[in-house]
Structure 1
Amino acid sequence: MSTLLRYTLMLASTGLAFAGSALAGKSDPPQPRCVESLSELPLLKAHIKGERSAKSLPFARNARCLRFSDGHEEPVMVYAVTLPSPVQITVEVDNRRKTILAARIEALDEHRELVAAYPFDAFTRRGGHYSLTLFGNDPDRPIRYLLVRIDGEAIGRTDTRMVSSMAFFPLPGGSYNHSYESRLISEMGDTGWIEVEQSALTEE
């Protein structure tokens, strides 16, 4: 083996070893740990109607891991309801990128105990989104939190709706308009956008 070839092989092996040690020194960013209590989860404030424009949030980006008492883990979001009873709470799920969040909503009291649960079937489709309206009328046990989970029984379902569009074709002396309908098929899944709004109710 020539001296030049031996030197080239030595440099190559040294470079590989250095690259390997550099990669070994790097570590993936730590993933958010899974908590065992709802009180450890970050709170998102439900938008108060009339204060500003409501904002939809992506579930995948804002959800955190919760370990339930039976040991299973799942991503959840927690909203704080700050208005006193009686209060109306509206939850909307957007249809974006042909994906609909199959949300399950659980209303909780101040001790984070379950008051009522609403599967995805409780939502009503309104145009391009799904909405759920619930009322907190009990002053002795007001709704203070909303837990957003994934409804496993709704995942994989599809939603089909017709969308009307119009095309304009310029012509000498005017234009030709053509309207048509297309079918939009969306799927319920564990990703999507959600918006929560609260509004005060006036007692009669």
Structure 2
Amino acid sequence: MAKLYFYYASMNAGKSTTLLQADFNYRERGMATMLWTAAIDDRYRAGTISSRIGLETPANLFETGTDLEAAILEQHAQTPLSCVLVDEAQFLTRDQVLQLAAICDQAGIPVIAYGLRTDFQAELFEGSKWLLALADSLNEIKAVCGCGRKATMNLRVDASGRVAREGAQTEIGGNDRYMALCRRHFMKAMRDGALPDYR
């Protein structure tokens, strides 16, 4: 039976790198894949999944209104798919997560989704919430806080490098806007409004 997998982590844990490695493993064995990433993420070239270590590959773009199930089934009819891989899965809607589950259950195609679990205020993203609820397999990719503990939280900083405690849930950025922290240092930074001191 095909499964829906959710690989989640904080920022800078290597989610996109892990996705690109999985895609390579399938393609190296002559198996077709279909890759998706969020259109809202404009840090790199549109229609590309890129990792911070320099790997990249083309991908389909999804927006909130994209019918993933229809698009995947159309591609599958042309070229049988062995796997669907989704980057930035936190930006999926509830309906899209249900569509991905249907791809597994009805079309027999495994789906592997990669994304953040929570935002900069420790709130679940919609896509992550429904993946945590519906995925057959949940897997955490480890990141490291500056103190050496496991980083599970995403601290947002403003353009001046100060802790941001308010704002829209989605604000695209990389190391210039976010820090991956353990819960202890995240909570202290949010409480004090100051960047962590790891001493």
- Asked if these proteins are the same fold (TM beyond 0.5), I'd say no
Pick the structure with more helix per residue. 2
Q: Could you say which structure has the larger radius of gyration?
A: 1
TM-score interval w.r.t. the shorter chain? under 0.3
What TM-score comes out, normalization by structure 2 length? 0.26
Higher strand share: 1
TM-score (norm 1): 0.25
